[in-house]
Structure 1
């Protein structure tokens, strides 16, 4: 776990900086510099692009990681990398042609509830391509166990650029339409920078030689599209469907609440970058001992880290809503229920990486179809009845069912599971501290309350985690960065 913890710490730091910038954007700049409908439009465009991303990438970002270490000669590796670069065009070109000849039909369908969407369908397509190739070039660097720069680009770069664009809107240097064009340009620029970095690690040599067992690679890429779609469906289908059932400003209100809850997923996102290639390596070497150790340690470490974030959000949410504009403060249930779903995601450890890189990856076809169906059905039923709270609960149900199925599957096939008695002890600690600090309030300004309560809770939590020795890896990091413990 040494390299995992080391790079995960750096990735977590950069991810939190990115989320800090994103928080300023989502909670303050968007809400004050754009009208609700345009904020909702931006959220809708990015969510739709995220849903398209797995198809545009054609599963290449995962195939790169799974198969890279299996090629032992330069010729075979160059041929493999050439295939990875060109394979996404199998989907990108036909979709582009459909867009050219069927734009009116597609745009009319997407803008039926909100007509302002009609002019921005191409923005979705271009952004999806930029996102897809960014992930491919990021995977290119991951196989060299270089994840920190890519994580900075993934978490900080585009948010910082969008902050600048929002400032330009406020100063009236650009209008809102130009701002939306600028957002698309930022994602394209991010992809180009990531490409340059990836090529600096290993410059591609275009070679179209025959690849051994190419059918397995293509089959894996095709099936992994579904697996990648699952994550995007869970993250963005709710926003997309809210835009189809409710006024588009509701997407903005929902996005604020989801953004707050999504902070819980930061440790998983950070650790996942280095766990994917390591998991693939252990599976390719049939090193079950190291794999099981990584599974259990990653689960416990993520629970301990994300548990603290969950605590800080839950105990401070009321004070945070006092700072936000009143129309954005109706999502308390959304924050809590999405937060619980994200916490469950973290407890899964590197479960996703195990399934994606094992010989059982085909099971994602079944899980993917089931989850997508459930997510759509739950949203269709609950959004018209309960609005954005119904969408949050639909997402929660879909995540719980999906993760539980994956947990059971890995246990049945690989005879390993991530939990231990320590997991139960950590959950008890989180429950006690949640109820213990939720009702603690100080008679200061809300921001002062948030800072003061967060410091007290964090110190107590870290002390208890260290004292009870829940995790050796976490304790080692606490000793290193908090020498007073």
Structure 2
């Protein structure tokens, strides 16, 4: 776990800095500089692109990680990369042809509730393309165990670009309409920066040669497309479908709440960057005892860190919303519900990496596809009834069922277990800290209130976790910090 902890800590710091910048963007600059309508539009376009990008990437960002260790020479690895870089064109070309020829019909469908969407639908596949190839180049860096720079570009660099464009709106350098297009270019710039760094880590050869295991690669990529599509659908289909039922302004309320809740998943995202290639390597080498140990350690580590973030958000949620326009308070319920789904998902540790690198990935992906359609159905039923609260409930049910299904496959089929009694102790510590701090506030400005209460919650939570010795890795980090 040495390299995992080292790069995970760096990635966690980078990701939280990025989320800090994102918080300024999402909680202050977007609402005050763009207004509700264009904030909702921006969120809709990015969410729709996120749903589409697994198709654009053809799943090869995961395929590259799974099969990379099978190639021994640099020449074979380079030819393998050239092959997988070309695979997405099988999807990209048809999508762009259909988008161009049928734009009026497609745009009309997606803008039937909100007319403002019509002129910007064309940006969705372009942003998705940039997202897809960014992840492919990022995967090339990950397999060389160099995940920090890519995470910096993804979490900090992109958000800084967005901040610059938002300031451009504020100082009337660009219009809000031009900001939407500028956001698309921000994703293009991020992709090009990732390409540059990936080539620096290990020169990329664009020579095309079909490898001997091309059939296995194609089959795996096809199933991973389903997996990525399902996972992203469960994450972002709610915002995409909200556009079909409610005014686009209210999507902004949901986006803010979703952003706050997503902070809980940051530790998982950071650790995943390095545990994914290590998990793939352990499975190829049949080192299942080490894999089971990694599974348990990743579970309790993520639960401890993510639990602290979740409790910190919930005990401060009312004060956080005092910093936003009053209309955004509709999203408080959404934070609780989506946050719960994020918390449950992160305590599964590197479950996804195990699934996607096992022989059972096909069955689970088909199950995920079924749950994806279930999520769409739930949103169609609950959004008209409860609006953004209905979308949150649909998300919680869908993600929870999908997570349970994946967990059961790993436990029952592979005899790998993520949980110990330490997970129960960690949950108890989180509940204790929540009830101890949720029902009172300092009589100060919301920002001061948030800072003071966060410090007290963190000190108590970390103290109890340290004394319970729930994670050797976390206790080691704390001990090293205390000695400094």
How many Å separate the matches in 2 of 1:449 and 1:429? Answer: 22
**Aligned residue in 2 for 1:199:** 199
The 5-angstrom pairing of residues 126-137 of structure 1 reads 126-137=126-137
Partners of 1:66 and 1:357 within 8 A in 2 = yes
**Aligned residue in 1 for 2:308:** 308
How many Å separate the matches in 1 of 2:345 and 2:128? Answer: 24
Question: What is the SS of the residue equivalent to 1:329?
Answer: helix
- The Cα shift of 1:282 comes to 0.2
Partners of 1:226 and 1:364 within 8 A in 2 = no
Question: What is the SS of the residue equivalent to 1:405?
Answer: helix
Partners of 1:223 and 1:364 within 8 A in 2 = no
| 1:239-269 C-alpha deviation (Å, 9 max, x unpaired) | 0011111111111010001111110000000
**Aligned residue in 2 for 1:352:** 352
**Aligned residue in 2 for 1:327:** 327
Partners of 1:243 and 1:250 within 8 A in 2 = no
How many Å separate the matches in 2 of 1:385 and 1:65? Answer: 43
- Does 1:471 pair with 2:471? yes
- Does 1:8 pair with 2:16? no
The 5-angstrom pairing of residues 406-445 of structure 1 reads 406-445=406-445
Partners of 2:83 and 2:209 within 8 A in 1 = no
- Does 1:94 pair with 2:74? no
How many Å separate the matches in 2 of 1:209 and 1:387? Answer: 51
**Aligned residue in 2 for 1:386:** 386
The 5-angstrom pairing of residues 370-385 of structure 1 reads 370-385=370-385
- The Cα shift of 1:231 comes to 2.0
* Distance of aligned partners of 1:406 and 1:172 in 2 relative to their CA distance in 1, 3 Å threshold: same
**Aligned residue in 1 for 2:292:** 292
**Aligned residue in 2 for 1:365:** 365
Partners of 2:265 and 2:342 within 8 A in 1 = yes
- The Cα shift of 1:149 comes to 0.3
- The Cα shift of 1:393 comes to 0.4
Question: What is the SS of the residue equivalent to 1:330?
Answer: helix
**Aligned residue in 1 for 2:338:** 338
How many Å separate the matches in 2 of 1:235 and 1:38? Answer: 21
- The Cα shift of 1:20 comes to 0.5
**Aligned residue in 1 for 2:251:** 251
Partners of 1:57 and 1:132 within 8 A in 2 = yes
The 5-angstrom pairing of residues 270-289 of structure 1 reads 270-289=270-289
**Aligned residue in 2 for 1:85:** 85
**Aligned residue in 2 for 1:230:** 230
How many Å separate the matches in 2 of 1:77 and 1:317? Answer: 48
Matched residue pairs, number?
Answer: 484
How many Å separate the matches in 2 of 1:210 and 1:342? Answer: 40
How many Å separate the matches in 1 of 2:290 and 2:157? Answer: 34
Partners of 2:11 and 2:151 within 8 A in 1 = yes
Runs of 4+ in 1 over 3 A off after TM superposition: 206-210
How many Å separate the matches in 2 of 1:214 and 1:335? Answer: 44
- Does 1:454 pair with 2:454? yes
- The Cα shift of 1:483 comes to 3.0
- The Cα shift of 1:194 comes to 0.2
Identify the range of structure 1 (440-449 vs 133-142) with the bigger mean alpha-carbon deviation.
440-449
The 5-angstrom pairing of residues 129-148 of structure 1 reads 129-148=129-148
- Does 1:213 pair with 2:208? no
How many Å separate the matches in 2 of 1:260 and 1:208? Answer: 43
Aligned-residue RMSD, C-alpha? 1.0
How many Å separate the matches in 1 of 2:422 and 2:293? Answer: 15
How many Å separate the matches in 2 of 1:102 and 1:470? Answer: 56
Any unmatched runs of 5+ in structure 1? none
- The Cα shift of 1:379 comes to 0.4
How many Å separate the matches in 2 of 1:104 and 1:468? Answer: 61
